[in-house]
Amino acid sequence: MDKRKIVQLYSALLYNTHVRGFISGEIYRGAAKFTCVPGLNCYSCPAAVGACPLGAIQNALGAANHRAGWYVLGIILLYGVILGRTVCGWLCPVGLMQELLHKIPTFKLAKSRLTRALSWLKYVFLAVLAVIMPLWYAVRHDMPMPGFCKYICPAGTLEGAVGLLSNPANSDMFGMLGAFFTGKFTVMVIIALACVFCYRAFCRFICPLGAIYGCFNSFNIVGVKVDGDLCTSCGSCVRFCKMNVRHVGDRECISCGECAKVCGRKAIAFRFGSSSADSVRLRLLWGVALAVLCLALVGFNVPGSDTRKKVAPSNAPIGHEAGQRLPDFSVRCLDGTDFHLAGNAGKVVIINLWATYCTPCVKELPYFEALQREHKDDAVILAVHSSLVTDDPTEFVAGRGFTMKFAVDTDDDFVWGTVNGSSSMPQTIVLNRRGEVVYNQAGSVTFETLNALYQKAGAKE
């Protein structure tokens, strides 16, 4: 195994050091989850300890009508200026998976003018699904919509969905799968097959994160560089490269360093800034890297490592609109317990207004339950049935294995009035850890939308 494969494997392990998540079937929810890793790695992977930069960009744009995502912009700029598409070649788990798939013995599609033209498609995916769609839904509908994550991302399907569903503890989630998941799973399979026949097909033609990092390749600090005094412009590097490069270091170059092996003049080398990395420095870096990985593996798997600090109380005005603080209330639940809003301070609270006679309401209940199970220690979901009762909600809920809270509103519609409930059901109200409303709208939601709303509400203040 060459050095680059070792670094790729190391990065995949470092991004996913919460290995006990595969045992418990739950994702990591500690403070580190609000830090973006450089490469594409799904937030919902049970082992992931950091956020995916592409998902973070979309969620930041989804909240653009409330606040600017300066943190996300800053971290992406930092990764871009320092590394550029070196991230794709060395630090991306999806890149490693693509290269392993390409090793399957079969005929291979050679690069051509067509593949070079298709490499511009990832900029279309970036513009439409990762930028325009989240912004449109944020401004027009006040709703997060991570378009690329929802419709395309194979990392989300494999690491997130399959990673969670493979655990027996989440077997009840299979009930929420439908045609949409089947379609997205099919997309993942098609992309995987494409990578078997075409080197890094996802990276070259689809990945919006690679499109972003490619914009920094002309001035990134770390990567493969050409010594102009030694280069004779023989073109061997470009002919040998499996990517769609026109020259070393352009927007398609992932700084893999394979071109250096065929350069007879030794004009190509991996450099940190303007100087080549010597062996002593590399050994020192490897020592530090191994120490960090060991500490991460221990730290993220010690019980109690998911704890959060208490949040400061809110000074927002009382109300039911986004940015306001929902007034405190209590309601008796169907299981005989009492739900007290103030008693859930520090957690994300989601209130669902529904009724047994509302078909869309019943259809989306499994989404709320799946989210509750996934974030059972960090979120509380309360489903409040309309005071107009035609069927017995207790009988409806019994035997379905729900873990979220259920209640029936009082005759005077107390809860409905508190949250400004609409006669058009269902309606979803999402509160952040300080009890402030981040979302309050009537209409059906998908699991992806709920998960995005949870992430938005659970973000560090």
Q: Summarize pLDDT for 23-61 with one digit per residue, the tens.
A: 888 888 777 777 899 999 998 899 999 999 999 898 888
- CATH of 330-458, picked from 3.50.50.60, 1.10.357.10, 3.10.310.70, 3.40.30.10, is 3.40.30.10
Q: What are phi and psi of 189, to 5 degrees?
A: -65, -40
Q: Give the model confidence (pLDDT) of 71-118 as tens digits.
A: 788 889 999 999 999 999 999 999 999 999 999 999 999 999 999 999
pLDDT grade, residue 172 (50/70/90)? Answer: low
Q: Nearest to residue 436, comparing CAs of 348, 354, 324, 329?
A: 324
Gap between the Cα atoms of 431 and 435, Å rounded: 5
Chain centre distance of CA 290: 26
The predicted structure's pLDDT at residue 376: 83
Q: What percentage of residues in the chain have a pLDDT greater than 90?
A: 50
**What does the block give as tokens for 85?**
């598409």
The predicted structure's pLDDT at residue 178: 76
- Most confident option among 129-138, 156-165, 185-194, 218-227: 185-194
221 backbone φψ class: left, alpha, beta (φ>0; ψ -120 to 50): alpha
- Most confident option among 205-214, 286-295, 438-447: 205-214
- Dihedral of the alpha carbons of 189, 194, 195, 197, in degrees to the nearest 10: 130
Domain with CATH 3.40.30.10 in the chain: 330-458
Q: Give the model confidence (pLDDT) of 358-414 as tens digits.
A: 888 988 999 999 899 888 888 999 999 988 877 788 888 887 888 899 999 987 888
Question: Do 441 and 143 form a contact (C-beta atoms < 8 A)?
Answer: yes
pLDDT grade, residue 144 (50/70/90)? Answer: confident
Question: Between residues 375 and 423, which one has the greater pLDDT?
Answer: 375
Lowest mean pLDDT among 267-281, 344-358, 447-461: 267-281
Lowest mean pLDDT among 290-299, 332-341, 363-372: 290-299
The predicted structure's pLDDT at residue 391: 77
* Interval 405-431 mean pLDDT: 89
Lowest mean pLDDT among 1-10, 25-34, 189-198: 25-34
* Interval 328-337 mean pLDDT: 88
Q: Nearest to residue 121, comparing CAs of 208, 248, 189?
A: 208
Res 282 pLDDT > 70: no
Mean pLDDT across the chain, nearest whole number?
87
pLDDT grade, residue 1 (50/70/90)? Answer: low
Res 424 pLDDT > 90: no
Q: Nearest to residue 193, comparing CAs of 94, 101, 95?
A: 101
Residues in the chain: 461
The predicted structure's pLDDT at residue 161: 87
Within the chain, what is the greatest distance between any pair of CA atoms? Answer: 85
